[in-house]
Chains A and B, each alone.
Chain A
Amino acid sequence: MSKARISPLRSGFVHLALAGYTVIALFPVVLTIVNSLKDKNAIFRAPLALPTVETFSLIGYTTVLKQGDFIGYFQNSLIVTVVSIFFALLFGAMAAFALSEYRFRGNTMLGLYLAIGIMIPIRLGTVAILQGMVAAGLVNTLTALILVYTAQGLPLAIFILSEFMRTVSDDLKNAGRIDGLSEYAIFFRLVLPLVRPAMATVAVFTMIPIWNDLWFPLILAPGEATKTVTLGSQVFIGQFVTNWNAVLAALSLAIFPVLVLYVIFSRQLIRGITAGAVK
């Protein structure tokens, strides 16, 4: 049976509404990028116009690259994000495997304990986290951020990955055991490759809040050498409020890598959120 078709009129309204909201969603970002490529007069005189030959200017970008150490900030963000995701995925997958594969005392309790962090934000422990990092001499190091973000990423990683690991066939694992594989080999060589799509989903999910976080860089690593790109642009833009070229260029520089990654991974991300519902 075919579905009742919606009338062309209604479908027109739907497209109008969706396209309208799409414009609202995209406009601010487009406006920022377009204006970052114009000179100061053009930014104010014709904010909506595309840059022309006369109004095109990269003055904002040169100011930003001269004044702020954006490359350094990028490096910090990249190191923190990649290393945290690596450990959250590795440790998370190991724990998820133990929880889903073996029956042992307190399995359920441990699962619940590790799930607390899905709902209770790690920020609430900041007072004691800072105290601990001061005691350990880790303030103003990327290690402090990596530790915090690994812990932050673990609960969701364990939760999602253990769901997926339950679907890996027992026969396969038992065949491995009969062939004399150790439990470690079964995990690393049989199970891990099979849950790779789930790992990618968790990685994308974990990445966004880490890359975008302002709170922990501000509190744990505000030093110039350890600033992440989020904190770096926050401080930089705060200083250059009146230099519109620089502000718009800094914003565009901060948007650009995220936008490129999003265009590449949006399918993965959206499929992850909708967990297989998108056909």
Chain B
Amino acid sequence: MSSAILSEDSIQVSARPRRWHILVFLLPAFIVYSAVMILPLIETLRLSLYNIVDGQSTFVGLANFKVLFGEERWAADFWRALKNNFIFFAIHMLVQNPLGIALAAMLSIPRLRLATFYRTAIFMPTILSFVIVGFIWKLILSPIWGITPFFMDLVGLKAFFSPWLGKPGSALIAVSLISVWQNVGIPMMLIYAALLNIPDEVIEAAECDGITGWSQFWKIKLPLVLPAIGMVSILTFVGNFNAFDLIYTVQGALAGPDGATDILGTLLYRTFFGFQLQLGDRSMGAAIATVMFLIILAGVSLYLFGIQRRVRRYQF
């Protein structure tokens, strides 16, 4: 595959002496990256096709995936985790990204006072670890401490309070919203930067044509920041399908209540590493990691070849 690229440059290269320094510059990064990242990734994909038969690691083809997708003990957990993961992603796309866009749009109003303060403050949760965020919200939503019921009482909604994190029906939504609270800074910043990059002439031209305020946002600015929104969406996708820490912290490795918040990351952890009575299973762990890899690869490819190329870019 690379032969075409090789022949292209080979004429110039052969004329020069060997340039060892290029190798010296590249080798450390290449070795660490290949040895710790790429080879384990390939090895994990390979392991997903093997399983222990009679104490020997044997090639079993797609048998692990058949078990994962179809065998009663595994399939229920797997499909639930996959479904939860899509819900988790959908909540981020529907709440986090529109909220991020709205905050960015307000922050980018020219000569807005205190903009730097708002920006710094709203981005702050993003730098905290999932562990801190998870525990803080666990305390705040806890019926024992009563912070949330107190605030709901202030607006007369106390009757609607319930321990959301502990109820199977609402736990996943609650956890997703905690994650949104933490991560909204990222879409906000990226879209804010894109909005600031719109040249003044474009905005002035719009104002000359009498397009201001809301219609300016919808008709001029939003189309111009679509590439940034695409970027934010794919970052959200990759982050969500590889999430683990927050759910592990808030709901534990079993992703309770009753597995209601189980996503692929927690399922991978339990399967591969084992938890309580469940023993770790390397082959099935590798199979789940492979499924996650394929989902992320599909999303990234869709973005790179489907969306990113079609989104119209404006050259200023």
Contacts and interface: CB of A to CB of B under 8 A. Distances in A.
A and B from one assembly? yes
Interface of A: 1, 3-4, 6, 10-11, 14-15, 17-19, 21-22, 24-26, 28-29, 31-32, 43-44, 47-48, 87, 90-92, 94-95, 97-99, 102-110, 113-114, 116-117, 119-129, 131-132, 147-148, 150-152, 154-155, 158, 182-184, 187, 208, 211-215, 218-219, 230, 233-234, 237, 244, 247-248, 251, 254-255, 258-259, 262, 266, 269-270, 273-275, 277-279
Question: Across chains A and B, which 8 residue pairs bring their CB atoms closest together, nearest first?
Answer: A125-B40, A274-B193, A212-B129, A128-B43, A128-B40, A95-B29, A151-B36, A98-B25
A262 B242 contact: no
Contacts of A126: 40, 44, 268, 272, 285, 289
A116 B137 contact: no
**Interface of B, helix, strand, loop or mixed by DSSP:** helix
Interface in B27-61: 28-30, 32-33, 35-44, 47
B78 interface: no
B32 A150 contact: yes
11 contacts: A25-B125, A29-B136, A47-B147, A91-B29, A114-B29, A114-B30, A120-B300, A121-B238, A208-B126, A251-B136, A258-B129
Contacts of A103: 9, 12
**Interface of A, helix, strand, loop or mixed by DSSP:** helix
B309 interface: no
A278 B123 CA distance: 15
A124 B292 CA distance: 7
Nearest to B296: A120
A107 B28 CA distance: 16
Given A47-B146, A274-B196, A104 B13 contact: yes
Given A25-B124, A124-B44, A266-B123, A279 B196 contact: yes
A237 B135 contact: yes
B230 to A, nearest CB: 13
Contacts of A104: 9, 13, 19, 22
A150 B245 contact: no
A154 B285 CA distance: 26
Contact of B28 (A14, A94, A218, A254): A94
Given A105-B13, A109-B2, A155 B47 contact: no
Given A26-B124, A28-B140, A105-B5, A127 B297 contact: no
Contacts of B22: 98, 102, 104
B170 interface: no
A152 B32 CA distance: 10
Contacts, number: 277
Given A109-B5, A154-B29, A127 B44 contact: yes
A116 B28 CA distance: 17
Interface stretch (B88-96, B109-117, B255-263): B109-117
B21 interface: yes
A114 B249 CA distance: 32
Interface in B124-154: 124-133, 135-137, 139-140, 145-147, 150
B43 A131 contact: yes
A10 B265 CA distance: 44
B193 A278 contact: yes
Contact of B123 (A230, A237, A270): A270
B193 A214 contact: no
B203 interface: yes
B203 A3 contact: yes
Contacts of A124: 41, 44, 242, 289, 292-293, 296
Nearest to B216: A4
A108 B5 contact: yes
Nearest to A255: B132
A109 B3 CA distance: 11
B32 A147 contact: yes
A1 B203 CA distance: 11
A117 B238 CA distance: 12
B128 A29 contact: yes
B285 A127 contact: yes
Contacts of B10: 105
Contact of B297 (A24, A47, A120): A120
B233 interface: no
A233 B132 contact: yes
A270 B140 CA distance: 29
Given A6-B109, A29-B125, A32-B139, A44 B114 contact: no
B118 interface: yes
Contacts of A4: 207, 212
B286 A127 contact: yes
A131 B289 CA distance: 14
Nearest to A228: B129
A106 B135 contact: no
Contacts of B35: 132, 151
B273 interface: yes
A6 B214 CA distance: 11
Nearest to B8: A105
B248 interface: yes
B293 A26 contact: no
A258 B38 CA distance: 31
A259 B25 CA distance: 36
B117 to A, nearest CB: 8
A274 B137 CA distance: 29
